[in-house]
Amino acid sequence: MFPSHQDMIRFAPEIVLCVAGILIMLIEPFAGRAHRRVVDVMAVLGAAAALAAVVLPMRNSGTAFSELLRVDAFSVFVHAIVGTVALLAVMAAPSYLDREALPHGEFFALVLFAAAGMGVLASAQDLITAFVGLEISSIASYILASYRRNSPRSNEAALKYFLLGSFATAFFLYGVALIYGSSGTTSLPKIDAGTTQPMLLALGLALLFVGLAFKVAAAPFQLWTPDVYEGAPAPVTALLSTGPKAAAFALLLRIYMTVEHASSLWFWALWISAVVTMFVGNLTALVQTNVKRMLAYSSIAHAGYILVAFAAQSALGTAAVLFYLAAYALMKLGAFTALSWLSGPGERHMELDDYAGLASQRPVAAACFSLFLLSLLGLPVTAGFLGKFYIFDAALKSHLIWLAVLLALNTIIGAYYYLRVIVAMYMRPARRDFPVGKVPAGIATVLALAAAGTIALGLFPNYVIEFAARAATMLK
């Protein structure tokens, strides 16, 4: 059956991303060295167009491609996050790629393909579609992680990511197979009705959970995260820690809220995983001296916070997850982007001591970086605070008082290591001349946009939270 006009519209963002990626690959060899900026511009335009194309499915919600995809407010919300992440990532990348003498074209194409995969993941209504999306985004991510070819760390990161990632995908696929065996379908809304062997289904769902928990870096499947995030090039880390996470969380949510068997089965797994993830992430982040690695552990902790909202198992919880994902994407992307520039050529300056006295040399960059850190810490007037606020609210409404208290404790632990970076930047004397020059325009724009977004979500969240609430009702 040939896809209809309507299907194409609902799939528009992914189509735009793929076309832009392919065009970049085709044009780059012809553009040559003299015109390499053409590729940069094209990538930005492609990502921006994809973000704009999100409007199309918003106006035309429904299913597409024989119910393989479901396009509704929920998937549109996640698409918007993914699109923003991709756009900011390609805007920030050129100066980094120049500095590290890395080719431009492939990088942008891979970022756009990865974003397309995440988009598929966000709107998948069928487990097979989800698997395809997962693979598209994962394979692009593996290559991106190894993008600094000459750096052993980058290679190590990629290899680790690839091996463990394939393993997790295998889990996922095996889970899908078992679910198909027990219910005769891979379409999410039909699984409950079709189930004949609940035990087999339970096993399948458990495997599915493992596969996705790996993708969102939830304990005990988080071990790959610090190495990969530290080793991958900083702009890639910015992308990896935000986009795929949002997409995988979206799929997890969709399964969790649509398949009733999953809701009952996963609750305690989520509860325990949330607690362990928060503590593991925060406690190990405490002892890190490498800022990039510290941020990697902090992103594990944040996955734990999001899982708390999951466990709430309500529309409010779903809205909280979505809002937090948006806030988290902005602040984390901002933080890693700032890092990608501050670390200097070869990313040699990642230690806490390297940041001593930064505030007096680069006041604006230091202020932006501090803002992202404070937002990650969850201080009011930033997006991070309201995100946490909604999670608390959802958890308490569902009577998960202990989970809320543990989350509160973790916030305090987190405060210590975020503040340490600020202490270094503002309160310690500069150790040596910091080797960074003027902020490149691309990175400056991204920092400004992310900072503005972080503040705007913290001060005027009405539109976003209402959208998230509407999206949440779509799932039930």
Partner 1 sequence: MAGSLALLLLRGDDRIWIRRLALVVSLAEFVLSLWLIRAFDSSEPSYQLEEARKWISSPPINYHIGMDGISLFLIILTTILTPIAILASWNSINDRVKGFFISLLMLEAGVIGVFVSLDLVLFFLFWEVMLIPMYFLIGIWGHDRRIYAAVKFVLYTMFGSILMLVGILWLFNRTGSFDLPAIQAALQAGRVSLSLNEEMLIFGAFFLAFAIKVPLFPFHTWLPDAHTEAPTAGSIMLAGVLLKMGTYGMLRFCLPLFPAAAHRLAPIVAVLAIIGILYGALVALVQTDLKRLVAYTSVSHLGFVVLGIFAFNATAAQGALYQMLNHGISTGALFLLVGMLYDRRHTHEISEFGGLATPMPVLAAFFLFVSLSSLGLPMLNGFVGEFLILNGTFEQHARWAVIAAIGVIFSSLYLLWAYQRTFFGDVTREKNRTLPDASARERGMLWVMAAIILFMGIASPLITSRTESSVRQVFDEMRRNDKPQPVFAKQNVSPASPTQEAQGR
User: Contact positions toward partner 1, by CB under 8 A?
Assistant: 360, 374, 379-381, 385-386, 389, 392-393, 396-397, 401, 404-405, 408, 411-412, 415-416, 419-420, 423, 426-428, 461-462, 465-466, 469
CB atoms within 10 A of CB 380: 12
Contact 273, 365 (CB under 8 A): no
* 44 exposure class (CB count in 10 Å sphere: 0-12, 13-18, 19+): buried
Residues contacting 373, CB < 8 A, separation 6+ = 335, 418, 419, 421, 422
| Residue 289 · residue 351 · CB < 8 Å | yes
Nearest residue (CB) to partner 1, 174 versus 426: 426
Rounded CA separation 118/109 (Å): 14
User: Shortest gap between Cβ of 331 and partner 1 (angstroms)?
Assistant: 16
**Residue 56 or 379 having the CB closest to partner 1:** 379
In the complex, minimum distance from the CB of residue 473 to partner 1, in angstroms, rounded to a whole number: 12
In terms of CB distance, is 209 or 385 closer to partner 1? 385
CB 333 within 8 A of CB 88: yes
CB of 390 to partner 1, least distance (A): 8
Cβ contact 77:468 at 8 Å: yes
68/400 with CB nearer partner 1: 400
Taking the least distance from each CB to partner 1, the nearer of 200 and 396 is 396
- We find the least distance from the C-beta atom of residue 321 to partner 1, in angstroms, to be 16
User: How many CA atoms does the CB half-sphere of 32 hold within 13 Å?
Assistant: 1
Whether the Cβ atoms of residue 229 and residue 293 lie closer than 8 Å to each other = yes
What's the CA gap between 374 and 451, in Å, rounded?
11
User: C-beta of 431: minimal distance to partner 1 in Å?
Assistant: 15
Question: By C-beta, is 50 or 474 nearer to partner 1?
Answer: 474
Nearest residue (CB) to partner 1, 10 versus 420: 420
> To the nearest whole angstrom, how small is the minimum distance from the Cβ of residue 334 to partner 1?
18
CB of 468 to partner 1, least distance (A): 10
> Angle between the 291-312 and 260-286 helix axes, to the nearest 10 degrees?
150
- In the complex, least distance from residue 361 CB atom to partner 1, rounded to whole angstroms: 12
CB of 426 to partner 1, least distance (A): 6
In whole angstroms, what is the distance from residue 451 CA to residue 63 CA? 36
Name the residue nearer to partner 1 (CB basis): 10 or 302.
Answer: 302
CB closer to partner 1 out of 343 and 411: 411
CB of 336 to partner 1, least distance (A): 23
d(CA 322, CA 327): 9
Closest to partner 1 by CB, 109 or 374: 374
**CA 82/CA 110 separation, integer angstroms:** 14
